[in-house]
A and B are shown apart, each in its own frame.
Chain A
Amino acid sequence: MSLFTPEFGLAFWMLVVFLILFAVLAKFAWPAIIRSMEERAAFIDKGIEASRLAQEERQKVKEEVQALLADAHRQQMDVLQQTERLKREIIAKAQKTAEDEAKRISESARLAVEQAKRDAELQLRKQVASLSLQIAEKVIRKELASENEQVKFVGKLLNELENKE
């Protein structure tokens, strides 16, 4: 069966063609193709890695910004609270000062009023005493114009004194 017996001539041409094909492809094609494929694969890998890093970086930055914001917020709150406290303190102080002042003023006013009252009372008493004396003098002068009257009056006074005792 000629189909199953190799032909030397054909095998020779096959060897020649195949070796030439191999030599040409091995020299000029396969290394270039494999290098290109690997370079591209490496490039893609690098790109993915870079994007992953960028994402991480962005995440980190975002977190930092968030932290910064939170910090600023807290500080703001602190400042606000402090201001509030200060405000209250100042108001309280002012109120206290005002109250003290008012108290002091009213105290001094009261003292002055009392003083004036006392003065007035004293004056009044003096006047009342002198007026009473004058009235009494006049009354007595008029009453004691007669002797009878004088004796009656003395007797009455004596009675009174006795009764008192």
Chain B
Amino acid sequence: MKRILTYASGIVVLIMGFLLISHDGVAGEVLPGEEQHADESEKAFNPKEVIFEHLSDEYWWSIVGDVVLPLPVIVRDDAGEWHVFSSSRLMNGQSYEGFYIASSGEYERKIVGIGADGKEYRPWDFSITKTACGIMVSAVVTLLLIFSLVAYYRRRGMRAPRRGMGFLEMIVEMIYKEVVVSVLGKDARRFAPYLLTLFFFIFISNMVGLISVFPGGTNVTGNISITLVLALCTFVVVNVSGNKEYWKEIFWPEVPVMLKCPLPLLPLIEFFGVFTKPIALMIRLFANMMGGHLISLVLICMIFLFSTMGAFATGVSSVFSIVFVVFMNLIHVLVGVIQAYVFTLLSTIFIGLARPELKHEIDKK
């Protein structure tokens, strides 16, 4: 018990430490401005700007204060030529090879180019952005964790893992036994690799996103492109593995004929359901994870909003903000686990629904 308390307090201290370090980034960008142009301080700090900057993707990675890691930019211009260069050439509004980062407009904070007709256009952009790096970090962490478990089994054979490995195995077992096997039954072996990969990628991305020091702190699962791909994968798996019965139930469900014959009311609803299910998955994960980051950012921004009202207000708001951010981050840990679980569970259920027992199999029973 005493040990658990020690661990817990250690974790709290760590989280607070991470927060202080990570939001140095915010402070670093804002505070010097305040000092240099004290009269323009209100103008210098725009919370909306800061929040959106942190939530959306970037072409470089601010590690701490002014230390920025430039990332490769890969774009294809409208003439079909590929351009690969470091994003450091685009920092501070510079332009390189006709490309620059739009500061406003439709493509705000994205790379745009000037076309032959003199208009701004968005090139094909395959840049390794901060979020793309975050994906790779999550993937690497996932690989390390899972392969350490595999290595453990290879080394220790039948011995049950303890501590860290035991925790990892517990999660694997929870997802495999409680979700995959209990929903899919005999098909479990076939779909388990996809579902387990899905769970661990989302779970680890969520957790990595909570650790705000480099190389964590990327808003991976709170980015709609990522959840879109994950939902798309589930969509493909569900519909590829769907059997005859599944398609029959979509286009010719067992309802009174008048509901489907002259006007295909139910088939239409069912058909839309095929798409709304993964879309709901996509939006649920995205909104939950982005919401968590948003709340933390808003609470931190409160400090800087109140800082214009004098030292007392700054002090009080700092304490309150930090306490609430720690609280929200702990909730976010919970949400991160739950959302990963829910995404996996629903994917499993959708796969299960796409494989109803065929008529003759039911009759056999």
Contact of B158 among A13, A17, A39 (CB under 8 A): A39
Instruction: Answer yes or no: A155 CB below 8 A from chain B CBs.
Output: no
**Is B194 a contact partner of A22 (Cβ separation < 8 A)?**
yes
Instruction: Answer yes or no: B128 CB below 8 A from chain A CBs.
Output: yes
**Is A33 a contact partner of B201 (Cβ separation < 8 A)?**
no
Residues 20 to 66 of chain A near chain B (Cβ within 8 Å): 20-22, 24-26, 28-34, 36-37, 39-40, 43
**Is A28 a contact partner of B142 (Cβ separation < 8 A)?**
no
A86 shortest CB reach to chain B, Å: 66
Contacts of B90 in A (CB 8 A): none
A18 to B197, CA, bound (A): 9
Q: Nearest CB to that of B149 among chain A residues? A: A33
Instruction: Answer yes or no: B228 CB below 8 A from chain A CBs.
Output: yes
Contacts of B108 in A (CB 8 A): 2
Instruction: Answer yes or no: B20 CB below 8 A from chain A CBs.
Output: no
**Is A21 a contact partner of B142 (Cβ separation < 8 A)?**
yes
Instruction: Answer yes or no: B196 CB below 8 A from chain A CBs.
Output: yes
The answer to whether A32 and B132 touch (CB under 8 A), given A9-B124, A18-B230, is: no
Instruction: Answer yes or no: B173 CB below 8 A from chain A CBs.
Output: yes
Of B50-58, B77-85, B324-332, B343-351, which binds chain A?
A: B50-58
Contacts of B169 in A (CB 8 A): 33, 37
| Total A-B contacts with CB atoms under 8 angstroms apart | 117
A104 shortest CB reach to chain B, Å: 92
Instruction: Answer yes or no: B301 CB below 8 A from chain A CBs.
Output: no
Contact of A28 among B128, B150, B233 (CB under 8 A): B150
A37 to B153, CA, bound (A): 9
Instruction: Answer yes or no: B176 CB below 8 A from chain A CBs.
Output: yes
Q: Nearest CB to that of B76 among chain A residues? A: A9
Contacts of B318 in A (CB 8 A): none
Instruction: Answer yes or no: A161 CB below 8 A from chain B CBs.
Output: no
**Is A33 a contact partner of B146 (Cβ separation < 8 A)?**
yes
Instruction: Answer yes or no: A105 CB below 8 A from chain B CBs.
Output: no
B82 shortest CB reach to chain A, Å: 13
A140 to B192, CA, bound (A): 159
Contacts of A21 in B (CB 8 A): 139, 142-143, 197, 201
Q: Nearest CB to that of A5 among chain B residues? A: B224
**Is B196 a contact partner of A37 (Cβ separation < 8 A)?**
no
**Is B176 a contact partner of A43 (Cβ separation < 8 A)?**
no
Instruction: Answer yes or no: A165 CB below 8 A from chain B CBs.
Output: no
Contact of A20 among B139, B176, B230 (CB under 8 A): B139
Q: Nearest CB to that of A35 among chain B residues? A: B153
A77 shortest CB reach to chain B, Å: 53
Q: Nearest CB to that of B136 among chain A residues? A: A17
A22 to B194, CA, bound (A): 7
Contacts of B128 in A (CB 8 A): 13
Q: Nearest CB to that of B287 among chain A residues? A: A4
Contact of B135 among A4, A14, A28, A30 (CB under 8 A): A14
**Is A9 a contact partner of B224 (Cβ separation < 8 A)?**
no
| Chain A residues in the interface with B (C-beta under 8 A) | 2-15, 17-18, 20-22, 24-26, 28-34, 36-37, 39-40, 43
Query: Would you mind naming 11 contact pairs between A and B with Cβ atoms under 8 Å apart?
Result: A5-B224, A11-B229, A17-B136, A18-B139, A22-B197, A25-B146, A26-B194, A29-B150, A33-B149, A33-B169, A34-B189
